[in-house]
Structure 1
């Protein structure tokens, strides 16, 4: 989870346009075209051109690591950042545990360039100026599910955009077979989980805290969490919010009074007990029916990210809603 207002890309903008191969004698230009490069990728409504096959990746955030793992490309990661001291997601096939975290938060341009990375994959740039990376010839690919943080830049994201993102990275890094196999497995797992969802619809709010001193935030109708809730047959009371993440006052939660509360935790290293205590300390929280009925479902922050880890989030939500 990255509760800042972060730009990113979406499934609708994941079409990869490969340079066409010319006919006639083989030249350096036609040989390059045969490799699929330059490769133009639609990135949050804009185009990013990758001149040659990337070999050294700096990741920003957990989803970049998870998606590259699913695409079979974690061996290209030379540096990590933006993980805010939270552990890597569970279930990675080839976790880059031995790769240095050069900045726990948003890396500066000098830091990125200093790693020797030839591409950045992550939730977007906040400290680094995009112009500095462009001047250094370093493309910036944004995770598909990070486009709608502060408003509807593109259509809502969900599992379909996650699967498309895995295939996109497979195309970019030349690991199409590994990416396709991962997507097939994840789609089968998603179908099995959806079949376990409760038949009766319940209302729900998905909330979290960015720090021990921050106000409550929630997942809106353009978030990965919204798709998770819907597939669990839960009705998101914040569905009308045309953003992925937003600051939600406790008053709005009290007004909606959902039957279930999904409480995301671990975004800054806190436990579920810590996050729950912070929620229960909110004025009027004891009056919420979800609190009175002990219907608070804890879900790890990385399990509501726009990557395959959301399958674990869906499993947790389905089980919690049925308990």
Structure 2
């Protein structure tokens, strides 16, 4: 072999080795939502409390490590239906501490800190730790967020998809699935960039405004709408849309009179299977918007600029990228006259 060929062979080996993600070395110590967690080996049995963690583990090819799921807003992504069908759903909403523990997990992954945190509705992290069970909370719910204030927490800085990618990478590291983590992040980043690029080609009005309505306890209650710094705020910021809600809370309640005075150009409503509140139903939301004497007078209602979006995409999850795509798809079919 000539010198030139030997050099090419060495370079190809270097390139190939650099494309392979580093193997996780155990025991692993990691800071997660203000707390050190220690993982002795890749978990074999995982219970998820929250759809975000569930679908990320499925996307990483780790469905065989999931022994129970809970807290579902919408159907599992189509590509995971087959895998999900064989895994026990412990609860549609909040599971009990006993139900989680009875699945004998060595790791519990949570989407929301209020489920497993200092005042966890399921349990505290210490309660799990006392039983030798590790816990992991998705960073998107605690990075740049204070969950001790506001109904669903208050953002201390704007949500970024970087926190979603961080969660994917950390779960991939915990399970020694680093290659799968890198591939998933690359795919989501590409989709994110493509959606933003498509939006730029639409030449949307500079003063376009919107409100994101998640749900309401009943017809007479103020709606839960998206604050300016959460996942919907990220979508609006990327597309140059103004959020008429200026609160830093994740999901503040705001009266329809206040929203109507702001008169948003778009109303984005959450679709979900959950039926905890009356307005979880998208039909109920639409009926209210068209028949309430105040809401029906808004420009978005009169112009039929009402967009349906997967409720899970409105949360800080990897589905936020899907939500961004949904928003761009809907806007591409709308016209705005000023």
TM-score, normalised to structure 1, is: 0.81
Over 3 Å counting, the alpha-carbon distance change for 1:129 and 1:65 in structure 2 is closer
Q: Distance in 1 between matches of 2:176 and 2:271?
A: 35
Shift of 1:175: 0.3
Higher helix share: 2
Which residue of 2 is the match for residue 96 of structure 1? Answer: 84
Shift of 1:271: 4.8
Which residue of 2 is the match for residue 256 of structure 1? Answer: 262
Which residue of 2 is the match for residue 228 of structure 1? Answer: 235
Asked if structure 1 preserves the Cα contact closer than 8 Å seen for 2:209 and 2:244, the reply is yes
Q: Distance in 1 between matches of 2:62 and 2:285?
A: 34
Over 3 Å counting, the alpha-carbon distance change for 1:250 and 1:56 in structure 2 is same
Match of 1:217 among 217, 221, 224: 224
Which residue of 2 is the match for residue 67 of structure 1? Answer: 56
Higher relative contact order (CA 8 A, sep 6+): 1
Asked if structure 1 preserves the Cα contact closer than 8 Å seen for 2:289 and 2:301, the reply is no
Match of 2:31 among 26, 35, 42: 42
Shift of 1:225: 1.6
Which residue of 2 is the match for residue 172 of structure 1? Answer: 174
Match of 2:94 among 106, 129, 145: 106
Query: Following superposition of structure 1 onto structure 2, how do residues 88-237 of structure 1 map, counting pairs within 5 Å?
Result: 88-92=76-80, 95-122=83-110, 123-124=112-113, 125=115, 126-130=120-124, 131-147=126-142, 148=145, 150=150, 151-152=153-154, 155-197=157-199, 198-200=202-204, 201=206, 202-209=208-215, 211=217, 215-237=222-244
Shift of 1:279: 3.6
TM-score, normalised to structure 2, is: 0.77
Which residue of 1 is the match for residue 330 of structure 2? Answer: 320
Over 3 Å counting, the alpha-carbon distance change for 1:231 and 1:90 in structure 2 is farther
Shift of 1:207: 1.1
Q: Secondary structure at the match of 2:105?
A: coil
Q: Distance in 2 between matches of 1:260 and 1:35?
A: 46
**For the pair shown, which has the larger CA radius of gyration, 1 or 2?**
2
Asked if structure 2 preserves the Cα contact closer than 8 Å seen for 1:72 and 1:178, the reply is yes
Which residue of 1 is the match for residue 20 of structure 2? Answer: none
* RMSD, aligned CA: 2.4
